[in-house]
Amino acid sequence: MNIMLLLLVAAGVSLVVQNLLMVRISESASTILIALVINSSVGLLLLMALLFAKNGASALAEVTGNFRGWMLLPGLLGSFFVFSGILGYQKLGAATTISVLVASQLVAGLGVDIYKAGPAALRDNLPALLGAVLLVVGAFLVARRSF
**93-136, pLDDT tens digit by residue?**
999 999 999 999 999 998 898 899 887 878 888 898 899 999 99
d(CA 127, CA 121): 11
Q: Which helix (H) or strand (E) holds 10?
A: helix 3-27
> 136, 107 in Cβ contact below 8 A?
yes
Maximum distance among all alpha carbons in the chain? Answer: 53
Torsion of CA 83, 85, 87, 91, to 10 degrees: 170
Query: What pLDDT score does 1 carry?
Result: 66
> 99, 143 in Cβ contact below 8 A?
yes
Query: What pLDDT score does 27 carry?
Result: 95
Other CB atoms closer than 10 Å to residue 66's CB: what's the count? 8
> 103, 136 in Cβ contact below 8 A?
yes
Least confident of 38-47, 110-119, 132-141: 110-119
Q: What average pLDDT does the chain have?
A: 92
Q: pTM for the complete prediction?
A: 0.84
Q: Is the pLDDT of residue 3 over 80?
A: yes
Long-range contacts: 73-79, Cβ < 8 Å, 24+? 75/40, 79/36, 79/40
Query: What pLDDT score does 142 carry?
Result: 93
